[in-house]
Amino acid sequence: MGICLARILCLQLLLIPLACFGANDGPPFDLKVFVGRSGPGFQVQATYVAPVNECQAYAFLTDYEGAKNIPGIRDSKVLFRTGNKIQVERIAEERVLFYPILLRSVLEFSEVSDKRQEFIQIEGDAKSYKGSWTIEPDKNGTRFTHHATFELDTSIPFFLIRFFIENSATRRFEIMAERVLLQKNTLSGSCGKFASL
């Protein structure tokens, strides 16, 4: 059971865009996380607010190779880019009782606009994995909204998976919000290359 839970944790690691070494007392980010059923699989919905503008938020989400600095991510590299499609290979690693568990995934990201990014696993260890990131203005900066659905090959009861994901995902999204704030002054991007949604 521990190995399967480690695989779920690794799956969550695959989508975090940037390095995660956040401060302990960051400001509140209005973080909300929901984990539930989606057909034979699961869904994760999360939202948080960071005090950055939309251009900085978009630059944060599209730094695909920056994820390789996250604890638990062994590698994250862009395989190729064609127009608004980017294929990224990520390898996540978790330890269970000193044994390393690796989870590999090739994700295709579609930069739909400067406010929306979609992704789908085209190859990897999960049965299916897809979702999106959106950003929108908020009175305190920019609101990031994440939605993902995935199906795993496991017989672990739903309530255990839900508990595990809710706890690990909540901390990961907190760290993302802290990190985007820490990198606020170094983020740059081109918001004008897409029309608004």
**197 confidence band (pLDDT: 50, 70, 90):** very low
Angle between helices 2-13 and 158-182 (to 10 degrees): 30
CATH number of the domain that residue 17 is part of: 3.30.530.20
Amino acid 52: pLDDT: 92
Distance CA 104, CA 186 (A): 30
Instruction: Give per-residue pLDDT as tens, 76-125.
Output: 999 999 999 999 999 877 654 555 667 789 999 999 999 999 999 999 98
Position 143 in a domain: yes
Q: Does residue 56 contact residue 141 with C-beta atoms inside 8 Å?
A: no
Position 71 in a domain: yes
How many H-runs (helices) and E-runs (strands) does the chain carry? 3, 8
Position 154 in a domain: yes
Position 14 in a domain: yes
Tokens 């696993």 found at: 121
Amino acid 138: pLDDT: 95
Amino acid 41: pLDDT: 83
Q: Does residue 151 contact residue 42 with C-beta atoms inside 8 Å?
A: yes
Distance CA 177, CA 28 (A): 9
Distance CA 30, CA 9 (A): 23
Say whether pLDDT at 184 is over 60.
yes
Q: Which region among 24-28, 67-71, 83-87, 182-186 has the lowest average model confidence (pLDDT)?
A: 24-28
Amino acid 69: pLDDT: 62
Amino acid 102: pLDDT: 74
Position 116 in a domain: yes
Domain of 171 in residue numbering reads as 2-191
Instruction: Give per-residue pLDDT as tens, 127-178.
Output: 899 999 999 999 999 999 999 998 876 666 777 667 766 767 777 788 788 8
- Strand arrangement, sheet containing 32-38: 32-38, 41-50, 141-151, 128-138, 116-124, 99-113, 85-96, 73-82
The structural domain count of the chain equals 1
What is the value of pTM for the model shown?
A: 0.77
Position 70 in a domain: yes
Amino acid 122: pLDDT: 96
Instruction: Give per-residue pLDDT as tens, 5-63.
Output: 556 555 555 555 533 333 344 446 899 988 888 788 889 999 999 999 999 999 989 98
Q: Rounded mean pLDDT of 177-193? A: 71
Position 196 in a domain: no
Position 65 in a domain: yes
